[in-house]
Structure 1
Amino acid sequence: MDVGPEIARRVFVLQLTTGEHVMADERFFLVRTDGCAVSNAGWTALELDVMAEHRWWSRAELAETTEPVFPETLLDMLTAATR
């Protein structure tokens, strides 16, 4: 798997399911893979509580899905990074 450079970053206040507000610092990387499994083995209890699903997506899958994907601008980030 090739983890490339950081392509985008978001810093914002996020309200947790407990009502607590935290500063979120999200960093996004372009990753090329041939189908590696994704694991939640290192997740915290909070991450397990708030994350419904995670997996690798192709650009075509992101463009076609009707499922909610976060961040909502993920495809735009990818497009800007690969111009």
Structure 2
Amino acid sequence: MTRPDAIPRRAARVLLVDASWRVLMLRGRDPARPDYMYWFTVGGGLDAGETPAQGAVRELFEETGLRAAPEALGEPVFHETVEFPFDGSWYRQEQDFFLLRVDSWQVDFAGFNEIERASVDAHRWWTVAELRATGERYYPPSLPKLLSALAQEEIPC
């Protein structure tokens, strides 16, 4: 549903995948609807003048403590435009997703801003099978299909 009052926003997200091909997801809630909980990938809105890759690595560091160079992300692996409510406003967000592989990572929420501290309460590494089987809400809904396709493209060393 396209709303004429939607606030346009550009965002970049990171599919942070570990050696077991699990993706890191954060659990959040909409402050205006505290009972509406969902899982989402690392990332967020771009700052003025940022490229999607620059915004993605900034968000990656702020939300997980992991530092990466924008060049480490390569090209986006997925792009979508979504509309959603958050904290009493309605957004139309164009977002690019980047894939970044790590052996493992201990998530550190120390870089959260005020709204992230108020709305994000957990993290979890999910397998594709777990995402397909869960009754919990997560975004993007096409994530299992996307991860499966990306895993098939991986070339063994």
Q: TM-score, normalised by structure 2?
A: 0.40
Structure 1 match to 2:145: 76
CA contact (8 A) 1:3 1:32 kept: no
Equivalences for residues 45-56 of structure 1 within 5 A: 45-56=114-125
CA RMSD of aligned residues (A): 2.8
- The structure, 1 or 2, with the larger RCO (C-alpha pairs under 8 Å, 6+ apart) is 2
Question: Structure 1 unaligned runs (5+)?
Answer: none
Residue of structure 2 aligned with 1:8, choices 62, 65, 78: 78
Query: After superposition, what is the alpha-carbon deviation per residue over 1:42-66, rounded to whole angstroms, capped at 9, x for unaligned?
Result: 3322233333423333334434444
Q: Which of 3-12 and 68-77 deviates more?
A: 3-12
Question: Structure 2 unaligned runs (5+)?
Answer: 1-17, 19-71, 153-157
SS in 2 for 1:81: helix
CA 1:23–1:43 in 2, change beyond 3 Å: closer, same or farther? farther
- For these two proteins, the number of residue pairs brought into alignment is 82
Q: TM-score, normalised by structure 1?
A: 0.63
Larger Rg belongs to:
2
Equivalences for residues 50-65 of structure 1 within 5 A: 50-65=119-134
